[in-house]
Structure 1
Amino acid sequence: MANILDGKKVAKELREELAEEISAAGDALSLAVLFDPKDDGSRLYVGMKQRAAAKVGIETKDFEVSPGQTTQDAIAMVEKLNADDSVNGILVQAPLPEGIDDAAVFAAVAPEKDVDGLGVTNQGRLFANEKGSYPVAATPKGVMTLLDRYGLDVAGKTAVVVGRSQLFGRPMAALLLNANATVSIAHRYTSKEVLDDMLAKADIIVCGVGKPNFIRGEQIKAGAIVIDVGMNLVDGKACGDVNQEEAMAKASWLTPVPGGVGPMTIATLLESTRQAALEQKALK
């Protein structure tokens, strides 16, 4: 029976620690969020981040990128925020409306305000394993923090990341590699035969493909650590990409859905906003 990696509990601890730091410092912090107001998922996520930010003392400023606007329109919004000293962090909530190049908008965010670590400068730092402090994509960093809080060392372990997106898979693989795991990446073009073979050898599985029951218990190595990054709705209920019931019988540690990676993502984003503000203050 797997032990639970309780992201909800750890995220609450992180937010409480952060709220104390912000209150003690007495600084006014703000996070600007660009999002598509017509996208139900984006509205939901933005609302969750707004509420969490308010609880720790971070003001959020919303900027709607509406259908019909262009990539250049979104970049112009970002450039204005880059120049605004009252804004400490900028979050681009993907996906933006159809026709807008999300990656180009990520790249336009000033590196020092790129709190989700999705711009080319900060991603380059991550893949170069540069030392020092810089933002890293919130979901993968949240996964690493969760593992660390439970004392689970990835060094020397065989890890498989299922997913290769800029938001999750690529930075997740880089973080695990930088922490001395041996890492492989699978994706939609990986054949089932090859994926099965990869998973059967994996000490750590991190999956985020957006497909319910994509990973079944029979594919999991006994004693593996399973991190379920997926968030899907089936018959009105939230579920991940891993069959939780089957995984419980095989894994040594498992993140629940909901209550696993999701809360860690938001807490990590808030931490990155605080860190960005500290570094901006130091430069003044």
Structure 2
Amino acid sequence: MTELLDGAKVAKIINDKTAQRVTKLDKPVTLAVIYDPDNEGSQLYVGMKSRKAAKLGIQTRDIPVGADETTDSVIALVESLNADDDVTGILVQSPLAKGIKERQVFSAVAPQKDADGLGATVQGMLFGDALEPYTVAATPQGVMSLLNYYHIPIKGKVALVVGRSQLFGRPMSALLNNADATVTVAHRYTEPAVLKRLLKFADIVAVGVGIPNFIKGEDLKQGATVIDVGMNVVDGKATGDVDFDSAQGIADFITPVPGGVGPMTIATLLENTVTLAELNQ
């Protein structure tokens, strides 16, 4: 029988701990969020983060950056936030407006304020498995928290990450590798026959390509753990990148969409922000 990995339940546990940590700090915690106001998805997501942050005692400063901005002007904004002692953490909400070079903006965020762990410095620490504290992109770190909560073994397991984005696939593969899994990275352009072979060997499958029902249950290894990071809308209904119905009875564990990885992402971002506050206190 397939068991659901309840991200909403685990996120609540994380949020409760985060709220307690906020009360022990000497100064307010403030998360600055840079986002494209013309992107409906970003507007929705930023609003959700702000409401959840307020419930945990975290202040937010939402800063719209429209299509009239340039990469240089956004970097200048980031640098001003880096120098602002009242700002604890900075989040650059992707995607920004067309023409703005996101990776340059990500890496302009000071490592000690990089709430989403997307800058080159902290990602280098992740891939180097650094011993000192650093932040990790919220979605893959949230996935690891979910796996740990449900005591799903990682060490020595075969893991397949389908997706190679800077926000998910690349850091996800590094986290699993650091946890002693044997990791392969595939993506939407991997030959279908090759992807099917890889899936049949994978004990853990983490998928984030943005294509509804990209992976079918018949493609999975019996007993696999499936992490679905996809969030698509099909016929007005939220749908993941894995065909949820056909995965039933094949996967031992699977994240639902919605209610799986999404709540973990927001909880982990706010957890990261408080961690930065503690480190910099």
TM-score of the pair, normalised by structure 2 = 0.99
Report matched runs for 1:197-276 at 5 Å: 197-276=197-276
1:107 and 2:104 are equivalent in the alignment: no
1:119-134 equivalences in 2 (<5 Å): 119-134=119-134
Note the C-alpha offset of 1:123: 0.2
Alignment deviations for residues 42-82 of structure 1 (CA, whole Å, 9 cap, x no partner):
00110110011111110000111111210001101000000
- 2:69 aligns to what? 69
SS of alignment partner, residue 271 of structure 1: helix
Name the counterpart of 2:98.
98
1:54 aligns with 2:54: yes
Residue 152 of structure 2 aligns to a residue in which SS?
A: coil
Is the CA contact 2:220–2:250 (under 8 Å) kept in the aligned structure 1?
Answer: yes
Residue 23 of structure 1 deviates from its aligned partner by: 2.1
Determine the structure 2 residue equivalent to 1:142. Answer: 142
Q: Secondary structure at the match of 1:233?
A: strand
Question: How far does residue 27 in structure 1 lie from its aligned partner after superposition?
Answer: 3.3
Secondary structure class of the residue paired with 1:144:
helix
1:3 to 2:13 alignment:
no
Per-residue CA distance 1:139-177 (angstroms, 9 max, x = gap): 000000000011112000000000000000000000000
State how far apart, in whole Å, the 1-side matches of 2:21 and 2:248 are.
37
Q: 1:183 to 1:139 in 2, by over 3 A?
A: same
Q: What's the counterpart of residue 116 of structure 1?
A: 116
What amino acid is the match of 1:202?
A
Task: Say if 2:38 is the partner of 1:23.
Answer: no
Unaligned runs of 5+ in 2: none
Q: CA deviation at 1:109?
A: 0.3
The 2-side partners of 1:273 and 1:210 are apart by 27
SS in 2 for 1:266: helix
**Is 1:36 paired with 2:36?**
yes
> TM-score of the superposition, structure 1-length normalised?
0.98
Q: Paired residue for 1:172?
A: 172
Whether the aligned pair in 1 keeps the contact of 2:7 and 2:262 (CA below 8 Å) is: yes
Q: Which amino acid aligns with 1:57?
A: G
Which amino acid in structure 1 is aligned with residue 276 of structure 2?
A
CA deviation after TM superposition for structure 1 residue 26, in Å: 5.4
CA–CA distance in structure 1, aligned partners of residues 141 and 13 of structure 2: 16
SS at match of 2:75: helix
Question: What is the one-letter code of the residue matched to 1:229?
Answer: V
Q: Which moved more, 1:12-21 or 1:249-258?
A: 12-21
Question: Which residue matches 2:78?
Answer: 78
SS in 1 for 2:91: strand
Q: How many residues align?
A: 281
Q: 2:183 corresponds to which letter in structure 1?
A: V
Which residue does 1:153 correspond to in 2?
153
Deviations 1:233-270 (A, max 9, x none): 01111111001111112000000000000000000000
Structure 2 Cα separation of the partners of residues 21 and 171 of structure 1: 26
Q: 2:112 & 2:91 partners in 1: Cα distance?
A: 12
Regions of 4+ moved over 4 Å: none
SS of the residue corresponding to residue 185 of structure 1 reads strand
When structure 1 is superposed on structure 2, of 198-207 and 25-34 the one drifting more is 25-34
Report deviation, 1:189: 2.0
- 2:84 and 2:17 map into 1 onto residues whose CA distance is 28
